[in-house]
Chain A
């Protein structure tokens, strides 16, 4: 089974802090994603990465950056945390499978981040 592990289940930080959220997957997937989940808004894509050191902005990248130095690890960085970034953050991964059509994304259990 694919396992996507997010390093923290709950995190409390203060406004202005630099925050790191870590995600590791064990299935050698090329593609990794960071979403935030808010009630009534569903899952919104922040950033994704399709290869090591490669990244692309999603729908709501403002205030965030990412890092992918190794294939299995994808980090989300809040450069200067603000209260409107209080949310549930979900990491996902999926393999590239040319010619086989879309594959399902596999999610971690999320990090609930509170910014005070």
Chain B
């Protein structure tokens, strides 16, 4: 019940395309869902986060879509750029400061 399942494991997208990464969870008590971006040799950095009282959050080219009834949330990267090539992690938190992370998606955007 504490798992967060992330897919796909890897993703290749053409420049200008849309990248979509999906996460699913079981525990309906999770109340915070951040996405982290990690470049090689760097630690993960917060990209965007959502709380379950909203269905969508957009920041620039990055959008989180949240489906509470399906217990799923996804990251959409519009107009994907080579500079977006990184590993992306979803996570969920349960009224604490502890996160449960997904297994990560390695995104490669082709120029």
Contact = CB atoms under 8 A, between A and B. Distances in A.
B45 interface: yes
Interface stretch (B13-21, B54-62, B69-77, B100-108): B100-108
B98 A90 contact: no
A43 B87 CA distance: 12
Nearest to B48: A104
B97 A107 contact: no
A107 B41 CA distance: 12
A34 interface: no
Interface in A1-37: 4, 31, 33, 35
Interface residues of A, number: 27
A103 B97 contact: yes
A90 B43 contact: yes
Contacts of B93: 102
A40 B44 contact: no
Interface residues of B, number: 25
A45 interface: yes
Nearest to A90: B43
B43 A45 contact: no
Contacts of B31: 101-102
Counting chain B CB atoms within 10 Å of each CB, the highest count among A4, A42, A102 belongs to A102
A43 B89 contact: yes
A96 B43 contact: no
B103 A4 contact: no
A42 B98 CA distance: 15
Interface of A: 4, 31, 33, 35, 40-45, 48, 50, 58, 90, 92, 94, 96, 101-110
